[in-house]
Amino acid sequence: MVVNSLAERYRADFPILDQKVNGFPLVYLDNAASTQHPNCVIDEIARYYREDHANVHRGIHALSSRSTKLYEDARARAARFLGAASADSIIFTRGTTEGINLVATSWGTAHLGPGDVILITEMEHHANLIPWQIAARRTGASLQYLAVHGDEGTIDWSDLERLLSQNRVRLLAFTHISNSLGCINPVRAICATARRHGVTTLVDAAQSAGHAPINVQELDCDFLVFSGHKCCGPTGIGILYGNPAVLDDMQPYQFGGEMISRVTYESADWKPGPHRFEAGTPHIAGAIGLNVAMDYLETIGRPAIQANDHHLGEVAYERLSRLPGIRILGPRRERAGLISFQLGATHAHDLVAYADQFGIALRGGHHCNQPLMRKLGLQATARASFYFYNTESEIDRLVEVLEAAIKYFGA
């Protein structure tokens, strides 16, 4: 079986998983928040600091030259990872959140105005909601939503054509995979519809870049963002892909060193993209670690990881759905490798704390989806999220602990 073969082959690459928590073997099911790091990533970051560390782009000595090459190699790797035509379309950020804020500030300020519409969905993470609230406030544009229907989180995408036809929509920003619902949105079809209406698109790929093959040219999106720490890379590093034609028309987001070509006491000129968007000293080690992480994932094969995710997601849904009093969010089939649930009247935080006593790492809360949770009549959910190093036996262990929790809390 795909799941067992992936876990059996690659789990030993992750030293953190070989430990006990509260006397029990660790079952790490918080991958939607942050994945773990294989030895190759850890080793390469340590090697870089031992042998090559220096600031990039600004020195002509050997260490700076080596560091710069490693940094720019990571940019080229990110372009291949996303199927981008050029490394010049890749901007390093601190993560998905900064990438979206960059677009909302730089692109939004220049292209939005009164009467314009920013369209997003009701399932968006706060990182793909609040920046657009602020952009709308600053520019006089309005923010509208594609509605989420029911616990499965379905969206009537056929309504998109009407909304784009009847409104002055300038930007459509949406998540590829919902971090609460586990549903997978049809990115290519959505972007094609937007393209027909001349609408700029931004795809939040935080939950998908490390889990499924992505080709931005095939998707035909204008922007796509993801975070390194959700795909075996370090924290504090992320990628913003931008269509080169769109990037060329954008002004910088931050100002300072490196992003300038000429400065006088009166004014400054900017470098072309992507460097005009990378002010100051970047997270060099983060980019280098992400480079190795992307190589590692491509060695495994993201199609195999995607199949693994879907299998674990469906297995988890089927086995957890047998528990009395459980409410599960997201679709039963064709779901990503995460599952959010409410167990009776037990608060998610209590449930997560209980599971932790038995070595199971879950996430509990609103998952940066407060408006969605409110719409669904929930304060919070517990969430189990999987990666290729997880197994069906860990799902069985989760079910056992949840059965004990039902008795303990009287849920």
Nearest one of 72, 121, 7 to 386, comparing CA atoms = 7
Quote the CA–CA distance of 292 and 235 in Å, as a whole number.
14
Question: 3-class secondary structure for 111-145?
Answer: HCCCCCEEEEECCCCHHHCHHHHHHHHHHCCEEEE
Q: Among the options 191, 221, 231, 368, which is catalytic?
A: 368
C-alpha angle 149-154-156 in degrees, rounded to nearest 5: 85
Interstrand relation of 260-263 and 238-242 (parallel, antiparallel or unpaired) = unpaired
Determine the Cα–Cα distance for residues 137 and 142; give it in Å rounded to an integer: 8
Phi then psi for residue 144, to 5 deg, are -125, 160
Residues in the chain: 411
What sign does the dihedral 119-121-124-130 (CA atoms) show? positive
Cα–Cα distance measured from residue 264 to residue 311, given in angstroms and rounded to the nearest whole number: 59
Q: Is 368 annotated in the active site?
A: yes
* Nearest CA among 388, 73, 382 for reference residue 232: 388
Sign of the alpha-carbon dihedral angle for 325, 330, 335, 340: negative
Q: Before 274, cis peptide (omega within 30)?
A: yes
Active site residues: 368
